[in-house]
Amino acid sequence: MESDKKIIIIGHKNPDTDSICSAIGYAEIKNRITNTNNYVARRAGEINGETEFVLQRFGIKVPEYVDNVATQVRDMEIRHTPGVPKEMTIKEAWSIMGKSEAVTQPITEADKVIGLITKGDIARTFMDAESSSFLSSTSPRFSDIAATIDGHIVVGDGELHFDKGKVLVGAALVERMQGVVQEHDLVILVDRKENQIGALEAGAGCIILCLGAKASKEVAELAKAKEAVIIETDLDTFSVSREINKSVPLEAFMTSDGIEGFKLDDYTDSVKAEMGATRHRAFPVTDSKGRYVGTVSRRNLLNIRKKQVILVDHNEKSQAVDNIDDADILEIVDHHRLGTIQTLQPIFFNLQPVGCTATILYQMYIERGIDVPKHIAGLLCAAIVSDTLMFRSPTCTTQDKMAAGALALIAGIDIESFAAEMFEAGSDLKDKSAEEIFYQDYKKFTFGSSSFGVGQISSMNEGELSNIKEMLLPLMEHECGKNKVSMVFFLLTDIKHSSSEMLYAGEHAREMIMNAFPGAVPTDGGFKIDGLLSRKKQLIPAFMDAIQGV
């Protein structure tokens, strides 16, 4: 397993305390038993006030938000071709590209991509280099010219640029040569002193002495007086003539306009379309701050690695993070009914009829003989208390109560007082809008042709529930019809009195409640239903029976 390939452990959308705490707890278990840090907890939505209280109480950071598990550029095989400066010569770049087997070379400045050059661009450069003034038109530094021909500067400033004149080979008699050499020209010579002097006197800006020839004191003094450059090399004149154009800087021929590139977080669906619309074979990749990372090509799309995901506290596709079908689901740990998630291969699926996913995780600690860290014990205990409404929910089992008691001892908390604080934090909604409250713990369900959404909030305070009701009633009609949902319901659950008031909106929503709960008592905008606490174990099964009976 690759150390940089993280496996995401994530709960459902609009996460509750169990969804968040179980993701954190299971990541801890998996990293412990694999002796890695490859498993990371993530969240599929904003956390509610209750969960925020729990995380702060036990000193845990809020997991990072993931809204989509479709493949991204970061999931592709990125070629880490190093960026090079625009001043680099074509010869150096060609060598680097050869070693890395890259066909496209990104050119960077301060870690930002400013240009691209391909092997094809370089080949065309030499095909077009017919003029003797070609080299000066690209303005290379004399130091780069010297390096390209394996030479060294003995007179003059290597940082100066050859930006005027033409390139000549001074093989003719001095008189004839002087008739051709003009000011600023670069002249390739051997050891004829008279030709060297003649070229300098004619105004040459640079002379290159080949075959190991050395500049005499007289020639060197003349070059200094003329502010010319002398380069000495062991290469012959033909080799120098052939190699010298390789000193062209990348800046002269790089593509700098309309550079197609991608960010690590770009989704591959859009990347495919952009790749198909351009002629490039490789494309630069940058991080969120625009810093160059590497390159990708069309070929890399063929063997892209799907995101590896473990789902906790849900197995319904409608509740899962977006594009779950594009991910490689490795495991599911849940306590809900069997849902609509499908996988291409067998997976580890731990589905138990208990009141909370955290109870299953506690069992895993015991089964593997792993000690539960104090902070994890606190998180898991909080999840059980939250999901079972402090053991009042009909979903609560003996296993939940035993797990919560054992975890409370490890965490050093008193369940009664802790639960009161936690539920109070969860129902403190004074700074939240009606929409935020509505979607705080909202799930979508689909049965046959019927799709509906159910939200829920629990409180120990009747007056607070009444205030929430006033906020939600005007909103619910507006929310009905969104995301192909024909009915919406919201449970205002009174933990103290073990009852709920169910608000509703949408055609047939009222009939649904009356069919599912014949003893429901009408209220202003809803129905009062004694004993209704659990959306999972009481409401959803009753709705399913009502739908099937229609």
CATH of the domain at 460: 3.10.310.20
> E strands, 388-498, where?
442-447, 450-459, 487-494
DSSP label at residue 524: T
Confirm whether pTM is higher than 0.75: no
Residue 365, in any domain of the structure: yes
Q: Which is more confidently placed, 29 or 289? A: 29
Residue 135, in any domain of the structure: no
Give percent of the chain above pLDDT 70.
Answer: 98
Q: Is the pLDDT of residue 24 over 70?
A: yes
**Shared-domain flag, residues 388 and 421:** yes
* Domain extent at residue 189: 141-247
Residue 87, in any domain of the structure: yes
Of 414, 398, 327, nearest in space to 359 by CA: 398
**Shared-domain flag, residues 347 and 268:** no
Per-residue pLDDT reduced to its tens digit, 489-529: 999 999 888 899 999 999 889 999 999 999 999 999 899 99
Tokens found for residue 63: 């997991």
**Helix boundaries (H) for 244-341:** 268-276
Q: Give the number of domains in the chain.
A: 4
Tokens found for residue 195: 């030709």
Contact yes or no for 254/125 (Cβ under 8 A): no
Q: Is the pLDDT of residue 148 over 50?
A: yes
Q: Distance (Å, rounded) from C-alpha 360 to C-alpha 277?
A: 50
Lowest-pLDDT range of 9-13, 167-171, 173-177, 311-315: 173-177
**Shared-domain flag, residues 120 and 257:** yes
Lowest-pLDDT range of 40-44, 104-108, 298-302: 298-302
For residues 189-204, give the mean pLDDT. Answer: 93
Looking at every residue in the chain, the average pLDDT score rounds to: 91
DSSP H or E run through 348: strand 348-351
Q: Which is more confidently placed, 348 or 451? A: 348
Q: For residue 528, what pLDDT is reported?
A: 95
Per-residue pLDDT reduced to its tens digit, 456-468: 988 877 888 888 8
For residues 101-130, give the mean pLDDT. Answer: 84
Q: Distance (Å, rounded) from C-alpha 168 to C-alpha 183?
A: 12
Look up tokens 């919406």; give the residue.
488
User: 95 Cβ partners below 8 Å, 6+ apart?
Assistant: none
Q: For residue 4, what pLDDT is reported?
A: 57
Q: Is the pLDDT of residue 139 over 70?
A: yes
Q: For residue 2, what pLDDT is reported?
A: 40
Contact yes or no for 31/39 (Cβ under 8 A): yes
Of 455, 384, 454, 460, nearest in space to 427 by CA: 460
Amino acid at 54: V
Residue 440, in any domain of the structure: yes
Q: Is the pLDDT of residue 153 over 50?
A: yes
Residue 129, in any domain of the structure: no
Q: For residue 79, what pLDDT is reported?
A: 87
Q: Distance (Å, rounded) from C-alpha 225 to C-alpha 440?
A: 82
Q: Which is more confidently placed, 162 or 480? A: 162
Give the burial class of 514: count Cβ atoms within 10 A of its Cβ; 0-12 exposed, 13-18 middle, 19 or more buried: middle
